Amino acid sequence: MATFQYIAKDAAGNETRGTIEAGDRAGAIAAVRAQGLLPTALGEVKGGGPSAPAPAKKKGGKPAPAAQKKGGLNKEIKINIKMPKFLQGKIKTPVLTQFTRQLATLVNAGLPLMRGIDVLKRQMKDPQMLEALEGISENIAAGGTFSEALTLYPKIFDKLYVNMVKAGEAGGVLEVVLGRLAEFAEKSEKIKNKVKGAMIYPVVVLFAAVGITGFLLVAVIPKFKQVFNDMLGGAALPAITEAVIQASEWVQHNGLTLVAAVVAFSVLKKIIGKTEKGAYLYDVLSLKMPVTGTLVQRTAVSRVTRTLGTLLSSGVPILQSLVIVRDTTGNRVVSQALQNVHDAVKEGEGMTGPLSQCKVFPPMVVSMVEVGEETGALADMLTRIANTYDDEVDNAVAGMTAAIEPALIIVLAVVVGTIVIAMFLPMIKIISSVSGAGA
């Protein structure tokens, strides 16, 4: 038996220190956990024989005399927890989704969790995910749980992921929870890709329109102006032609100012968006925009209901689920509404009242939540709402795309057509004068 010194935290977050005897490091960690403590540091006492556990001390207190004699806790002790070397950004969603789906399949097939992670490590190509899996394996081997190991990689595994895994471990249905996580990620990514895909064409057409218009105003119109001056001898030009020429001259003289103004506006918008009031204002406007507001609202409802339904069906308590959804919704207006719901539920009320008062969730959603609360099938009802709104998001995206594409084409045609007509009208006068002179 070896003697280990530990630093741990109790349920209240207070730090305690002491010694414990165990056959190996993993056994020592397990023994500390059995006392209801979470070990944060553990080290073997060299040359130490059997000894009584040192009395626990609060953080900032002096070590026990026995610990001082052993020389264990008056110096840094490192627990075998591997922290990530780099967490520059989140990994791609498909990588995490594929890992989750494959791990769920392996665990469901009866493979132990550690064995499943080792199998996936050998085929993982993403370096950041591979490093995370290696650290997770070491932490589990040292006596930690899967959910605790995931918390060391917050930019890969968010609160939703960690809490669902924790609920799956507590209920003994980890493979079911992993399957739900994979399904949730797949559906969320599907909606996101549809929205992004719908915006690609309009953005391309818009940039093309701006580029073509800028080229005509800067490079083409000045040459036509010179031709008109030479051929017409300063004669009056049609009003539309004069307007286009003046626009061309303004762009030539103020082009850099215009670009600087656009850049400054973008920077200012970003700065304002980082403030609490500015970000809240942008989120309010995003829900009230004439064309895209409905799409944003339906997407938010779908995300909130699916996330909340997934958490509840996985065994996560309602209050904790509401906090997780509030922090992951991405819209401050919706987050505030969920905070009101959380406060109401905490006081023993239902979700229906706060949902109806926030004016974010449509009446149908409020009614279905009310039915779910009354029948005790809230998680199932939330999932049904999410499925319904997924279809509505698909229809909204298709409708928006169908409306935006011809509108942009018409705008581009009007702008280019106006410039062409403006340049063509003086040419008719020039051709007429040349024909009259020849006759």
Contacts of 203 (CB under 8 A, 6+ apart): none
Contact predicate 382/369, CB 8 Å: yes
**pTM recorded for the entire structure:** 0.60
Separation of alpha carbons 273 and 285, rounded Å:
12
For residue 19, give the amino acid letter. T
Across 21-35, 52-66, 160-174, 215-229, the highest mean pLDDT is recorded for 215-229
* Residue 439 reports pLDDT greater than 70: no
Of 325, 312, 304, the closest CA to residue 386 belongs to: 304
**CA nearest neighbour of 316 among 329, 325, 328:** 325
Residue 71 has pLDDT above 70, yes or no: no
pLDDT (0 to 100) of residue 73: 44
pLDDT at 11: 58
The model's pLDDT over 330-362, given as tens digits with 9 standing for 90+, comes to 788 888 888 888 998 888 888 888 888 877 888
List of domains in the chain = 2-70 (no CATH), 93-184 (1.20.81.30), 189-433 (1.20.81.30)
Is pLDDT at 25 greater than 80 in this prediction? Answer: no
Q: What is the pLDDT at residue 166? A: 81
Residue 427: both structure tokens together: 């040419």
* Cα dihedral value 155, 158, 162, 165, nearest 10: -110
- Catalogue the E-assigned strands of 284-387: none
Which pLDDT score is estimated for 55?
Answer: 43
pLDDT at 436: 59
Closest residue by Cα to residue 352 from 333, 376, 331, 373: 373
**In Å, how far are 73, 202, 213, 219, 237 from 224, measured between CA atoms?**
85, 31, 15, 10, 12
Average pLDDT over residues 356-382: 87
d(CA 326, CA 340): 10
CB–CB of 1/23 below 8 Å? yes
Give the C-alpha distances (Å, rounded to integers) separating 398 from 202, 297, 310, 393. 13, 16, 27, 8
Phi, psi of 7 (to 5 degrees): -120, 130
Is pLDDT of 59 > 50? no
Q: What is the pLDDT of residue 264?
A: 92
Q: Report d(CA 406, CA 353) in Å as an integer.
A: 42
**Banded model confidence at residue 435, pLDDT cuts 50, 70, 90:** low
Is residue 181 within 8 Å of 189, Cβ to Cβ? no
- Confidence tier at 434 by pLDDT (50, 70, 90): low
User: Over pLDDT 70: what percentage of the chain?
Assistant: 85
More confident residue, 402 or 57: 402
Phi and psi for 314 in degrees, rounded to 5?
-90, -5
Task: Please state the rounded mean pLDDT for residues 379-395.
Answer: 86
Q: What is the 3-state secondary structure (H, E, C) of 400-428?
A: HHHHHHHHHHHHHHHHHHHHHHHHHHHHH
Residue 84: pLDDT above 70? no
Q: Cα–Cα distance between 345 and 343 in angstroms, integer?
A: 6
Q: What is the mean pLDDT of the chain?
A: 79
Helices vs. strands in the chain: H and E counts, helices first: 17, 3
User: Rounded to whole angstroms, how far apart are CA atoms 124 and 119?
Assistant: 9
| Contact present, 16 and 8 (Cβ < 8 Å) | yes
**pLDDT-derived band of residue 170, with 50, 70 and 90 as boundaries?**
confident
Residue 67: pLDDT band (50, 70, 90) is very low
